[in-house]
């Protein structure tokens, strides 16, 4: 994957610290949403950056190691299922992105985020790029870090909540996950505001 057109424009304008930001886990029924922010060194780019959805788990892990070694700065932020249920997934995702950028520890000149919605104002010029993980290298790098971190969290949750198969489906609504959910009921990290979980709880409540 090459440096994106918008990144090139920002680099030509004299900016050095351009942060890419993306999240993982919006569509999952369980576990946190995780955001990552990355400031790349465009003179020393890491290997293996691509849209995280096009990479295998092993390729993502290798790319994440390379990104962490080569990036000027990177950071992660996670927001758990209880906050997602309270604030809704969009607000939780945007808040996680804001936290990730704020945790970079360096002065950032511009932020590029994936999607069509902006995080709350943080005093840094910020713009959203639809399909940004395929249009900006820094967003693709953030997408990889967020996905790798979230996968690791769900693998740890699989040990804590045995029988749900979180290590396999990472909380997403696969047929196997939905069947397990019906059989075992939700565990504490399931998102009760999401329809499959909410409907199951309502069935239990009303004895259907």
Q: Which residues contact 65 (CB under 8 A, 6 or more apart)?
A: none
Percent of the chain with pLDDT over 70: 98
Tokens representing 197 are: 């979980």
Element (H, E) at 33: strand 33-39
pLDDT of 141 over the 50 cut: yes
Q: Which domain holds residue 152?
A: 5-202
What CATH number is attached to the domain comprising 120?
A: 3.30.420.10
E runs forming strands in 41-196: 73-79, 110-114, 126-129
* Domain membership flag for residue 137: yes
Q: Which helix (H) or strand (E) holds 20?
A: strand 18-24
Mean pLDDT of the chain: 95
Helix, strand, or coil (residue 42): coil
In-domain check, residue 82: yes
Is residue 208 included in any domain, yes or no?
no
pLDDT at 70 over 90: yes
Mean pLDDT, rounded, for 150-154 = 99
- Does 164 map to a domain? yes
Provide the CA 151 distance to its chain's centre, in angstroms. 10
Q: Is residue 207 part of a domain?
A: no
pLDDT-based confidence at 204, cuts 50/70/90? low
Phi-psi sector, 34: left (phi>0), alpha (psi -120 to 50), beta: beta
Categorize the per-residue pLDDT at 205 as very low, low, confident or very high, splitting at 50, 70 and 90.
low
In this prediction, residues 29-43 reach a mean pLDDT of 98
- The H or E element containing residue 38 is strand 33-39
> HSE on the CB side for 135, CA within 13 Å?
15
DSSP state of 69: H
Contact (CB, 8 A) for 84 and 34: no
* Residue 112 to residue 105: CA distance in whole angstroms: 17
Q: Number of folded domains in the chain?
A: 1
pLDDT at residue 120 in the model? 82
pLDDT for 62: 96
pTM score, two decimals?
0.94
């Amino acid at each position: 994957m090459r440096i994106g057109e918008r990144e090139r424009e920002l680099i030509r304008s004299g900016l050095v610290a351009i942060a890419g930001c993306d999240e993982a886990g919006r569509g999952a029924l369980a576990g946190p949403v995780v955001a990552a922010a990355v400031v790349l060194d465009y003179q020393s780019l890491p290997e293996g950056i691509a849209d995280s959805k096009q990479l295998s788990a092993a390729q993502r892990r290798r790319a994440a190691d390379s990104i962490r070694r080569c990036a000027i700065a990177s950071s992660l932020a996670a927001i758990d299922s209880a906050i997602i249920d309270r604030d809704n997934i969009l607000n939780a995702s945007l808040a996680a992105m804001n936290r990730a950028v704020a945790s970079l520890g360096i002065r950032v000149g511009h932020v590029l985020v994936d999607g069509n919605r902006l995080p709350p104002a943080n005093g840094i010029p910020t713009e959203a790029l639809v399909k940004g993980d395929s249009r900006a290298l820094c967003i693709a790098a953030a997408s990889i870090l967020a996905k790798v971190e979230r996968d690791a969290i769900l693998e740890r949750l699989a040990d804590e909540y045995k029988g749900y198969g979180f290590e396999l489906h990472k909380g997403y609504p696969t047929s196997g996950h939905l069947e397990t959910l019906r059989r075992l009921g939700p565990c504490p990290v399931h998102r009760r505001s999401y329809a499959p979980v909410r409907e199951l709880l309502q069935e239990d409540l009303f004895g259907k």
